[in-house]
């Protein structure tokens, strides 16, 4: 089954909000064997919505629509759907009772504009929205299914999980789609592709391989399509084993997780602790780790030591080192890492210092120059990197490279 997702709203097109709904919906649909043909965003305009519906119905079997179901005049999705299907409107009593209860609960007057939230196209099956006033709507016309839902993410998610996904499973005989993700780090996608070219060429027809690169890491996603779930899992396991054996130490994990989570899992398993000394990343590394549940079992703390003074006071960096070699130097980053080990009494420490840009560079130390050190009680390893001249990318690249270096030290020390 092929699906198309249409998000409606001027706020998406002008960049006022990010369309997170489509990505989440695509994940849920893919998990039940529905393949996404296209994702589109259109404005709050009758003609644009009308055209999007017509074009989508020519490409897909299932059309999912979010947005434009509010009580204000710019929300025209319901009336446009009624016009598209050539039907009138009806008032749904269950939705009206829900709207009335919500306004009574908050002691607010029920206006006519709120009452009209219960009006829906005559040919739809109402999907009761227990988390808001706008109902979802299911249309089944000429072999196509159209589902309209609110654009508010948590309302859409509950409708998808509680009603839409179960109804799709009941209504259609859906194939199985199973994914296996292999997380690699430290090697580019072209080099990885070259190393496993023969394995990729010999993949069975029901399995496809995709490369998903992102600043320092590449996810390899194997996808298997078919009817027999057990057979698909066995086939994926065979191919996963071949690839992981071939790629060796570039493999970080055989599940779809970020690099920071793979490191936390490894250190937690080995009962190891971590501290950070950050300068040019400004706490970004700490943010990556602490955004994950269970981080406290590994991460003890960190110092964002931006100035010379803070490097001296927080981490014990020698003033002579700073003034003789500068903040962006091998000597300084080594003392930062070793200072973090002492200050936080951790098993491992990571330190970063550099010139994130866009200014501050010199001929000897251009913008993008970064020193990274990883340390434990036995040794400290420091490396120099030169990235680009984009500040945000330099911060992200530095954090990723620091985690890769930490992972290498963890493996060496095991």
The domain that holds 279 is classified in CATH as 3.90.950.20
pLDDT at 71: 84
Q: Is the domain of 224 the same as that of 304?
A: no
Give me the torsion for CA of 375, 376, 377, 383, rounded to 10°: -20
For residue 108, pLDDT over 90 is answered with no
- Tens digits of residue pLDDT in 280-291: 999 999 999 999
Mean pLDDT of 99-114: 88
Q: Is the domain of 40 the same as that of 144?
A: yes
The CATH number of whichever domain residue 18 belongs to comes to 3.40.980.10
- Tens digits of residue pLDDT in 1-54: 999 999 999 999 999 999 999 999 999 999 899 999 999 999 999 999 999 999
**DSSP at 135:** P
Is there a contact between 366 and 334 (Cβ–Cβ < 8 Å)? no
For residue 414, pLDDT over 80 is answered with no
Does residue 414 form part of some domain? no
Enumerate residues 6+ apart whose C-beta is below 8 A from 39: 4, 5, 6, 7, 22, 26
Does residue 8 form part of some domain? yes
Q: How many domains does the chain have?
A: 3
Core vs surface per residue 130-148: b (16+ CB within 10 A) or e: ebbbbbbbbbeeeeebbbb
For residue 247, give its domain range: 177-253
Q: Is the domain of 202 the same as that of 290?
A: no
Does residue 401 form part of some domain? yes
Does residue 318 form part of some domain? yes
Which one of 171, 191, 206 terminates a domain?
171
Q: Is the domain of 211 the same as that of 70?
A: no
pLDDT at 211: 95
Q: Is the domain of 118 the same as that of 203?
A: no
pLDDT at 113: 87
- Give yes or no for a cis peptide into 322 (omega within 30° of 0): no
Which one of 171, 198, 225 terminates a domain?
171
Measured CA to CA, the distance from residue 316 to residue 339 in angstroms comes to 6
Measured CA to CA, the distance from residue 351 to residue 8 in angstroms comes to 45
Strand partners, 303: 277
Q: What share of the chain is helix, strand, coil (3-state, %, to 5)?
A: 45, 25, 30
Mean pLDDT of 123-129: 96
Q: Residue 156: which region, alpha, beta or left (left: phi > 0; alpha: psi -120 to 50)?
A: alpha
Does residue 58 form part of some domain? yes
Q: Is 50 helix (H, G, I), strand (E, B) or coil?
A: helix
CB atoms within 10 A of CB 190: 11
pLDDT at 54: 95
Q: Is the domain of 379 the same as that of 359?
A: yes
Does residue 220 form part of some domain? yes
For residue 151, pLDDT over 90 is answered with yes
Enumerate residues 6+ apart whose C-beta is below 8 A from 318: 312, 335
Strand partners, 371: 353, 384
Is there a contact between 337 and 330 (Cβ–Cβ < 8 Å)? no
Alpha-carbon 170 to chain mean position: 29
- Tens digits of residue pLDDT in 249-290: 999 999 999 999 999 999 999 999 999 999 999 999 999 999
Alpha-carbon 337 to chain mean position: 30
pLDDT at 393: 94
Q: Is the domain of 283 the same as that of 155?
A: no
Q: Is the domain of 30 the same as that of 74?
A: yes
Model confidence, pTM: 0.79
pLDDT at 154: 93
pLDDT at 70: 85
- Tens digits of residue pLDDT in 296-307: 999 999 999 999
Measured CA to CA, the distance from residue 371 to residue 147 in angstroms comes to 52
**Chain mean pLDDT for the chain:** 95
Comparing C-alpha atoms, which of 75, 88, 85 is closest to residue 50?
85
Q: Is the domain of 26 the same as that of 161?
A: yes
CA 255-257-258 angle, to 5 degrees, is 140
CB atoms within 10 A of CB 349: 30
Which one of 171, 203, 224 terminates a domain?
171
pLDDT at 100: 92
pLDDT > 90 fraction of the chain, expressed in percent and rounded: 88
Does residue 268 form part of some domain? yes
Q: Is the domain of 245 the same as that of 381?
A: no
Q: Is the domain of 45 the same as that of 140?
A: yes
**DSSP at 175:** P
- Tens digits of residue pLDDT in 375-401: 999 999 999 999 999 999 999 999 999
Is there a contact between 185 and 411 (Cβ–Cβ < 8 Å)? no
- Tens digits of residue pLDDT in 358-376: 999 999 999 999 999 999 9
Is there a contact between 406 and 267 (Cβ–Cβ < 8 Å)? no
Sheet architecture: strand order including 251-253: 207-214, 217-226, 176-185, 251-253
- Tens digits of residue pLDDT in 78-94: 999 999 999 999 999 99
Strand partners, 40: 6
For residue 75, pLDDT over 90 is answered with no
Q: Is the domain of 222 the same as that of 322?
A: no
Does residue 16 form part of some domain? yes
The CATH number of whichever domain residue 219 belongs to comes to 3.30.70.2860
Is there a contact between 86 and 122 (Cβ–Cβ < 8 Å)? no
């Amino acid at each position: 089954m092929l699906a198309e997702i249409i998000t409606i709203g001027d706020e998406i097109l002008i960049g006022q909000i990010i369309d997170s709904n489509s990505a989440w919906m695509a994940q849920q649909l893919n998990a039940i064997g529905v393949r996404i043909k296209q994702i589109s965003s259109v404005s709050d305009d009758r003609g644009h919505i009308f055209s999007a519906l017509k074009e989508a119905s020519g490409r897909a079997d299932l059309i999912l629509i979010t947005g434009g179901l509010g009580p204000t005049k710019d929300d025209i999705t319901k009336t446009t759907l009624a016009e598209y299907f050539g039907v009138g409107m009806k008032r749904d009593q269950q939705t009206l009772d829900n709207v009335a209860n919500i306004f009574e609960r908050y002691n607010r007057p029920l206006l006519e504009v709120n009452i009209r939230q219960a009006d829906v196209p005559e040919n739809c099956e109402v999907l009761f929205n227990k988390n808001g006033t706008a109902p979802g709507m299911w249309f089944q016309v000429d072999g196509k299914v159209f589902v309209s839902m609110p654009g508010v993410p948590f309302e859409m998610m509950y409708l998808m999980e509680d009603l839409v996904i179960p109804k799709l499973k009941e209504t259609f005989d859906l194939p199985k789609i199973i994914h296996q993700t292999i997380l690699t780090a430290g090697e580019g996608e072209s080099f990885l592709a070259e190393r496993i070219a023969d394995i990729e060429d010999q993949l069975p027809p029901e399995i496809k391989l995709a490369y998903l690169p992102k600043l320092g890491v590449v996810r390899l996603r194997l996808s298997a399509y078919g009817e027999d779930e057990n057979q698909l899992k066995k086939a994926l396991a065979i191919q996963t084993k071949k690839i992981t054996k071939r790629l060796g130490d570039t493999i970080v994990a055989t599940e779809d997780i970020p690099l920071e989570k793979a490191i936390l899992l490894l250190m937690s398993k080995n009962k190891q602790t971590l501290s950070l000394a950050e300068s040019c990343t400004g706490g970004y590394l700490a943010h990556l780790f602490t955004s994950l549940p269970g981080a406290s079992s590994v991460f003890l703390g960190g110092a964002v030591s931006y100035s010379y003074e803070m490097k001296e006071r927080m981490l014990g960096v020698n003033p002579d080192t700073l003034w003789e070699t500068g903040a962006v130097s091998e000597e300084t980053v080594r003392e930062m890492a070793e200072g973090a080990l002492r200050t936080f009494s951790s098993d491992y420490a990571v330190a970063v210092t550099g010139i994130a840009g866009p200014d501050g560079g010199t001929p000897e130390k251009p913008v993008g120059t970064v020193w990274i050190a990883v340390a434990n009680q036995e040794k400290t390893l420091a490396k120099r990197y030169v990235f680009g001249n984009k500040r945000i990318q330099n911060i992200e690249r530095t954090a990723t490279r620091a985690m890769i270096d930490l992972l290498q030290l963890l493996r060496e020390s095991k």
